[in-house]
Every structure is written in structure tokens, then in C-alpha cells.
Amino acid sequence: MIYLDHNATTPVDADVREAMIDCLSDQFGNPSSLHGLGRKARKILEDSREKISQTIGASEDELFFTSGGTESINLALRGSLQKIDPGLLKLGKPHIITTAVEHKAVLETLEELKKEGRLEVTLVGVDSKGRVKLEDFQKALRPTTFLISMMWVNNEIGNIYPIEAIGHWVRSQKILFHVDAVQALGKLEINLSKIPVDLMSLSAHKIYGPKGVGALYILSGVKVASCHTGGAQEMEKRGGTENLPGIVGFAQAVEKIDLKNDNSRIKILRQKLESGLAQIPQSHVQGDEGSRVANTLSMTFEGVESEMGIIALDREGIAVSSGSACASGAVEPSHVLLAMGVNRGEAKGVIRFSLGKSTTESEIETVLKSFLK
């Protein structure tokens, strides 16, 4: 099996697996318990928190574990809405600005809050390469705007968004800035001591960690209400006994990030794949070649239906993907490509290749052969 779907999920790293098995085998204590086993578990929990927060330039008091990226995003958006400044509420319905190319976790959560009548939402558009402009955010700003949410790296096309520049402006407006960094962690350097961000969502399984664990970074002083009521875990931000084996795996996965080596190697492989596939008539690379992560290649092939392409490749043992899937798992036209102005027909022919640490040159050659035959 040639696995080129690392933006969907990644294989669990061997060291991560080992750390998790150790935890599962020996450390069954509840971190909230006062006895020895509990204290041991609590130490493992806080050590993990420390490792991850140090890697992203945060303090350990600013990192809160969740069940994954989607929950982190929900906590960031719903939790900050819950704690909104009452003075702002007097001006009218709270307003959030985000982009049209966000992950469904953001778009659907905001849509739901909008339907509930709790906020208003402006979606900032993108150009044909999927780029955003700071001035579009500036134009969308209202007196009632309390938060701007945007992704750092797009999961479908791999664009890297100018979080730092936008962050500085957002900070100057005294509004909150939530960054969905689920696809950025492990692909880009994240240093929150330099970048003005208030809330940041992270996930473990995109970085060779386990599924079912993630974290929300909350800048010290930013108010977020719990969405998971129950026990007092995670400083009352997220009730429920901590998923300690998952958290240990997450920390181990973060520790194993090796940006320099991985990115330069993966980039060479992706370029080989990209230039090979570009020979196919009527194929187009989607996204911003000037600012794209190393591992992601989104291509449209005119006259091809991506779901059939994906199935045919699957039958040859090659795993790739396209846009998002609905409840039934059927492929839907990508909202990202549609936002970029790609026509519906072409958007249906998109295939996303996302490479990873284990991708080899011979795998890329096999994929190219399969496409070019």
C-alpha cells in the first residue's frame, strides 16, 4: 500500500506507540486521584503538557487537552462566545470573521451558532490560488466583531496563510484571534512567543500521534468557557478524565517532529510527483505555489471524476483523497476549490496527494507510472 493521504491521518510513529503502550500497561491511575498512582499519572499528564507547550512557544498553563482538532475548535469558538465582553453584546449580535476555505469544523460550527441566532458570520473570500488578503478582513470588520478565526495551513490545497501579519492587525483591533493549526503542526515552525495568537487548535493524529487527542492553546488571560461540563479537569475548561495514553502519545509525537529533515526530503518527492503529473494534459496544480507546505499537492484533472480516480488508485493499492466527504462517505465537490472559483466540473476532478515521513522515491515513481499509463 502506497499511502499518500497524510493530511487525512498519519501512521502512528513506533516511539509514540511504545510510549502509549507503556502508559496503557503501567499507568492506569486517574490524574485526579490523590494516591500514588494518581499522582504518577498527573505527573505524566503535566510532563506531556510541558513538552508540547514548549515546542510551540507557549507556557504550560496555556495548553488544554481535548479529544482532537474538532473539539478544540468548538471549545475556542463556543467557549469564547460564551465569555464575550458584555459591553460588546450591547452593540448588537456578536460577529466573527473567517475564510471560505476553512475546515468544516470551523464552518459548520459557525453555521450552527448562526442558525441558533447567537452570532453573525462573514466569510472572507480567496483568489484563484486560494490566497486571502488582509484588507478583506479589514473591510469585513464591524464594531461587533469579537473574533477572527482562520487556518494556518489549508488541508486540501496546502496553502500557508499569513498568520503573523493578520495576527498583528487583529491584535491591534483588540479582538480575539483563533488559529486552526491542525495541518500546520509538524509542517511549519510554530512559535507562539513571537506570533500574536489568542487561541490555537491542535491535533495529534496528523503528526504521527494517536487519534482522539488534541489540544487548545489559550493565551493567558483570554476567557473561554467550558463546553464539556463535569469534573474540574483541565482547569475546568474540559471536564472528563484525561485520555492519558493519548496525551502521552501526542507529546511523544510532538517531540519527534523534525521539520528540517522531513520537509526538505518530502519537498523533493512532492516536486518529483508534481512535475511528473503536470505532464498529463489538462491537469492543473491548485493552490499557491509561492506559499504552500511541502507535503501537499492538489491537482485537478479535467474530464476525470476524482471519486472514480480514487477508487481506481485504491484498487492498485494507492491511497489518495479528494475534497470532503458527507455523512455517507460520498465525495462532495470541494468547497475550497469552489471558493477559488474553480468550476464545478473541474472541482469534481480533484485529487489530493499528501506525502509523509515514510514516503519513498520508488513509491512516487510507482504512482507516476500508474497515472501516466
Partner 1 sequence: MPVMSKNLAVVAMSGGVDSSVAALLLKEQGLEVIGISMKTHETPHMDSREGGTCCTAYDINDARRVCQQLDIPFYPINFTEEFSEKVIDYFGKEYSQGRTPNPCVECNSQLKFAALLKKARELGAYYLATGHYAVKTRDTLGKYHLMKARDREKDQSYFLYKLGQEQLEHVLFPIGKYTKEEVREFARSADIKTADKAESQEICFVPDNDYASFIENELPVYKGTPGNFVSESGDVLGQHRGVHAYTVGQRRGLGVAFGERAYVKLINVEKNEIVLSDKDGLVSKGLVAQKVSWVHREFVTSGQMVEAKIRYRHKGAKAFVHINPDDSVRLDFVEPESSVSPGQAVVFYRNDELLGGGTIEKPIVE
Positions annotated as catalytic residues are: 326
Q: Does 2 bind partner 1 (CB under 8 A)?
A: no
Q: Does 308 bind partner 1 (CB under 8 A)?
A: yes
329: Cβ–Cβ under 8 A, 6 or more apart, which residues? none
One symbol per residue from 330 to 349: x for binding partner 1 (CB under 8 A), - otherwise; what is it?
xxx-----------------
26: Cβ–Cβ under 8 A, 6 or more apart, which residues? none
> Could you tell me the smallest distance in angstroms from the CB atom of residue 330 to partner 1?
4
Interface stretch with partner 1, choices 51-59, 238-246, 262-270, 308-316 (CB under 8 A):
308-316
Interface stretch with partner 1, choices 104-112, 194-202, 294-302, 327-335 (CB under 8 A):
327-335
User: Which of 98, 75, 139 has the alpha carbon at shortest distance from 335?
Assistant: 98
Separation between Cα atoms, residue 142 and residue 369, nearest integer Å: 53
Q: Does 15 bind partner 1 (CB under 8 A)?
A: no
Q: Does 328 bind partner 1 (CB under 8 A)?
A: yes
Q: How far apart are the first and last CA of the chain?
A: 19
Place of cell 507535503: 295
Q: Does 281 bind partner 1 (CB under 8 A)?
A: no
**CB closer to partner 1 out of 174 and 315:** 315
**CB closer to partner 1 out of 46 and 316:** 316
Contacts 24+ apart (CB under 8 A), 40-44: 41/244, 44/244, 44/247, 44/248
Separation between Cα atoms, residue 94 and residue 318, nearest integer Å: 46
DSSP bridge pairs for 160: 153
Separation between Cα atoms, residue 83 and residue 96, nearest integer Å: 14
- Conformational region of residue 248, where left means phi above 0, alpha means psi within -120 to 50, and beta covers everything else: alpha
Q: Which three cell numbers stand for residue 224?
A: 473561554
Q: Does 365 bind partner 1 (CB under 8 A)?
A: no
Q: Does 172 bind partner 1 (CB under 8 A)?
A: no
State the number of binding residues for partner 1 (CB under 8 A).
13
Q: Does 315 bind partner 1 (CB under 8 A)?
A: yes
> Distance of CA 63 to CAs 7, 135, 194, Å?
23, 31, 17
According to CB under 8 A, which one of 116, 143, 326, 362 is a site residue for partner 1?
326
Separation between Cα atoms, residue 270 and residue 276, nearest integer Å: 10
> Could you tell me the smallest distance in angstroms from the CB atom of residue 72 to partner 1?
26
Task: Phi first, then psi: give them for residue 297, nearest 5 degrees.
Answer: -135, 120
Q: Does 302 bind partner 1 (CB under 8 A)?
A: no
**CB closer to partner 1 out of 34 and 326:** 326
> Could you tell me the smallest distance in angstroms from the CB atom of residue 327 to partner 1?
4
**CB closer to partner 1 out of 235 and 311:** 311
Q: Does 157 bind partner 1 (CB under 8 A)?
A: no
Please give the residue ranges that form the binding site for partner 1 (CB under 8 A).
307-308, 311-312, 314-315, 326-332
